[in-house]
Amino acid sequence: MELQRHSVAILCVLSCFLTLGMSYPDPRQREEFIKMEASMRIGGNVSLSPEEQQLDAHLSKLMLEEMAREDFLPALHFFKARPLIRSSPIYGLLQKMPKGAALHVHDFAMVDVEWLVRNVTYRPHCYICYTDDRSVRFYFSSGLPKPLSNCSTWTLLEQLRAKTVNVTDLDDSLMSYMTLWTLEDPELAYPSLTVVWKRFEQAFKATWGLVTYAPVFKDYFHEGLLQFYRDNILYVEVRALLPETYELDGSTHDTEWTMKTYQDTARQFVEENPDFFGARVIFTVNREIYPALLTKEVQKAMKLQVDFPETMAGFDLVGQEDTGRPLWEYKEALSLPAAQGSNLSYFFHAGETDLQGTKSDQNMLDALLFNTSRIGHGFALLRHPVAKMLSKMNAVPLEVCPISNQVLKLVKDLRNHPAAALMSEGHPLVISSDDPSMFGASGLSDDFYEAFVGFGGLSNHLGTLKELAMNSIRYSSLPPNLQEKAMALWQRKWNKFVTENL
């Protein structure tokens, strides 16, 4: 709608100039158009204080230098670009910047895999087996665990380490099973989308036995919050499978325990770090599940919403969209909450695809029909004008995860990411990191670098960053009164950041 108004204005202005016979092209008109485009961008209308303007001037100098590099970093694969990004002055600033909230991160891809290996696998009673398809599985147990099919016999890691000549090499190899990050040429290591998704799922399975061990489960989430907090993020919404967790004797805990553990851990973390705002959980189910079975999961979600109103944010389906079931196949189960007057909100992954016209390509429109509160990725949005219009009109933001989209092979050069266009027209969106441990990325700083430099270059400025950070709070699942508090906390951090970096 807005765009149409703009076009009418542009047409009128052009014809007026032509009929009046004024100089053409008119430099003042040129200025007007340039201003008009600048104001449409994300952050285009943000007014900056004198201090902010000073920092902005510094930032634009850094951006000029960044744009003058021969190796434009967002054009490179993140695995090659990371060391260069990390040494860029813009990255240094982004890391210190209060980025607001991380709204799209998955439960078991929050923490650097180095912590899993150096901390978790050194705990006693940790067993390992090697699978036939060159992965590993872990399990904590007081006695020898039951054999797994397609896996070697279980070995106590402590004993394996005692027999190993070079333990550093062993630990490095363990890490490599749990992440896609590699020093090899990523194009050779992951030649196709199918290969990279297979490796991605393998890495999750390798991590599984470590993170679902109850004592580790708590520590993992605590460590995850800590790593995000250190990256200057004040609030996290975690997509969580809420799996059964287990103890050394093989006994297990149910979903309620898992949810309560998230709640308790988040509260404890806020107690330890009062300038952190907290965390909420979006319950997720894999989109391979049979439609008839989803009903039970949605009912479970509605119950969690009632039992944990403070922590439960909503529901989502996860897994590779192209090979999973489309949302529409689940319409019966997904219609239940509205029919039953439940407060359950949806945060659907949708449009994480390059395959136009397929069933998965339909997911964004269906997510909007189900009143999704946000769209996870929405990578295909530019190819769906109606979905794009609805998303803008109803302020349903996209959760844009640049590094994830690049590593999972939807786009190579991040300047060609659809969010570059969406940012330039002020489409509602937030920046997130999806699975930072899988990609060797930090909390949000690496993704902010890619978005800030790659999606707009010199058109971006401090106002862009400010609005992106504010969007992450504005579009969070927090109720209005808590959003206001979170925004006030963020504003205090922001002001401090600005004065400290002049």
Q: Say if CB 74 and CB 456 are below 8 A apart.
A: no
CB of 399 to Zn ion, least distance (A): 8
CA distance 17 to 10: 11
For residue 318, the minimal CB distance to Zn ion (Å) is 6
Single out the catalytic residue among 352, 399, 450, 467. 352
Cβ atoms 99, 472 nearer than 8 A:
yes
Residue 219 or 434: the one with the smaller Cβ distance to Zn ion is 434
- Cα distance between residue 102 and residue 440, in whole Å: 17
The answer to whether 222 is a known catalytic residue is no
Contact in structure between 308 and 265 (CB atoms under 8 Å) = no
Give the residue with the Cβ less far from ligand NAG, 268 or 335. Answer: 335
Residue 2 interface partner, choices Zn ion, ligand NAG, none, CB cut-off 5-8 Å depending on type: ligand NAG
Contacted entry of ligand NAG, Zn ion, none for residue 233, CB cut-off 5 to 8 Å set by kind:
none
Q: Which is nearer to Zn ion, 202 or 464 (CB)?
A: 202
Residue with the two structure tokens 């790659």: 454
Q: Which two tokens stand for residue 121?
A: 């696998």
Cα–Cα distance for residue pair 50/68, rounded to 1 Å:
27
Contact 126, 213 (CB under 8 A): no
Q: What is the dihedral of CA 384, 389, 394, 398, to 10 degrees?
A: 50
Whichever of 349 and 427 has its CB closer to Zn ion, that residue is: 349
Q: Among residues 451, 432, 452, which one has the least CA distance to residue 443?
A: 432
* Cα angle: 277, vertex 106, 298; to 5 degrees: 95
Q: Please say which residue, 13 or 411, places its beta carbon nearer to ligand NAG.
A: 13
Which residue ranges make up the site for ligand NAG (CB under 6 A)? 2, 39-40, 42, 44-45, 119, 122, 149-150, 166, 168-169, 219, 222-223, 306, 335, 338, 341-343, 370-371, 426
User: At closest approach, how far in Å is the CB of 434 from Zn ion?
Assistant: 5
Angle between helices 462-474 and 480-500 (to 10 degrees): 160
Residue 306 contact among Zn ion, ligand NAG, none, beta carbon within 5 to 8 Å by kind: ligand NAG
| C-beta of 45 vs 153, nearer to ligand NAG | 45
The tokens describing 423, both together, are 């940012």
Q: How far is the CB of 306 from ligand NAG (least distance, A)?
A: 5
Select from ligand NAG, Zn ion, none the partner in contact with residue 159, using the beta carbon and a kind-dependent cut-off of 5 to 8 Å. none
Q: Which amino acid is it at 61?
A: K
- The Cα 419–Cα 441 span in angstroms is 19
* Residue 315 C-beta: closest distance to ligand NAG, Å: 12
377 is annotated as an active-site residue: yes
Q: Which does 273 bind (CB under 5 to 8 A by kind): ligand NAG, Zn ion, none?
A: none
Least distance from Zn ion to the Cβ atom of residue 235, Å = 18
- Among ligand NAG, Zn ion, none, what does residue 434 contact (CB within 5–8 Å per kind)? Zn ion
Task: Point out the residues that are catalytic.
Answer: 352, 377
